[in-house]
Amino acid sequence: MSSRTRLEDLASIAGVSIATVSRALNNSPAVNDETKRRVWKIAREQNYHFRPSMPALLSGASATIAVVIPNPHARQSEALHPFVQDFIGGITEAARVSGCDLLISHLAPGNVDDLSELMTSSHADGIIFLGQRLLHDRLNALAQGESRFIVWGADLPGQKYCSVGSDNLRGGARATSHLINLGRRRIAFLGDTAAPEVQHRYEGYVEAHRRANLAVDPALIVPAQFEISYAEAAADGLLARRAAFDGIFAASDLIALGALRSLQKAGRSVPQEVAIVGYDNIQVAAYTQPALTTIDQDMSKAGRLMVSKLLAATEKAPLRSERLPADLIVRESCGLG
C-alpha cells in the first residue's frame, strides 16, 4: 500500500472503527494496550507515518530513535563504559543534526517475543541495538517481519538484518602487522572471542601471522573481558606462567589498559620490553602513560550512518550492512620511531 494510507484503511485491516484507530494512534486511555499495539503494528506495516505513544510530546522532532543497550554478560550495565559513551555520543550528534529525539533503553530482550514487543510498544520510530552477541538468532527472526532496526556489530553468515560496524578482520590484521613490522615475534592476543567482533579481530591476528610466516602460539591466546580489572588479571596470569612475549594485541582499549597496568606492576617496560596495541580509540587512550596505540572506530561517522539508515528504514527502503574503516593510530605504547 502507498504512503497515502488512510485511517479507513487501517480500521478495515484491524477490524475496528475509525474512531478506535484514531484514538490508538494518539495513545488514548480509552483504547486498551493490546489494541493499541495491534493498530501501531499495522500502521507501520502500511507505511502510515505516526509517532507511537508520544504523538505530541516532542512536537519539534522529525522522528524518535531508541538505542537499546542489552547486558549480555550478566553483569552491571555497560552504559558507563568509555566505548559505549562514544557510541551514544556519535548517535546523539547524528540524531541532533537530523532533527530526531533520542531515547536510551537498558532492556534485556530474552526472546523473539520480547523483541517484537519492544518494536511494537516502543516510543520510537526505530531502534539501534548495541551488539548482537546473544541476540543474533532472535534478530534474524525479527527481521522476517520488521525493518525498523539496525545493529552495531559484525556481519555474520546468514544474517538477515542490517548491521554497521568497523572492519574488525582488517583492524585485527593491521594491529598485529604493526607489531610484527616493529620486530615483535611473540605477540599475545587478549580478548573474549565469544563476541563476534572480537572473533573477527582474532582472525585478523591469525591472518597477519600467516602473511608473515609466523606461527601462532596457543599459549599466548588469553581470554579477557571488556573490563580493566578482568584484563589485568588475565595479563597477570600470562606473566605468572612465565610465557615469553614481546607484544600484545588487546581486543579493546580497556583490555589494553588492564594489560598495561599488569606489566607496569610487574616492572616490565612498555614499549621497550612489550609493545601494546588496543582497539576502539577511546578518549583516555591518548592520555595514558605511555599513550596507547590503537585501532580507531570512527563513532561520529558510525552514528551518522546508522541514523540515516534507520530513517530510510521507516520508508521501507532496502538496507545494506556496512563496514567502516579500521585506522591505526600510532602512539607511544608501540614506540613512535
The pLDDT tens digits for 210-236 are: 999 999 999 999 999 888 999 999 999
Q: What predicted TM-score, i.e. pTM, was given to this entire model?
A: 0.78
Write out pLDDT tens, residues 137-160: 888 888 887 778 899 999 898 899
Cα distance between residue 109 and residue 198, in whole Å: 22
Lowest-confidence region among 68-72, 170-174, 259-263 = 68-72
Cα distance between residue 182 and residue 123, in whole Å: 52
Cα distance between residue 164 and residue 153, in whole Å: 6
**pLDDT-derived band of residue 75, with 50, 70 and 90 as boundaries?**
very low
Chain centroid to Cα 280, Å, comes to: 11
Q: What is the mean pLDDT of the chain?
A: 84
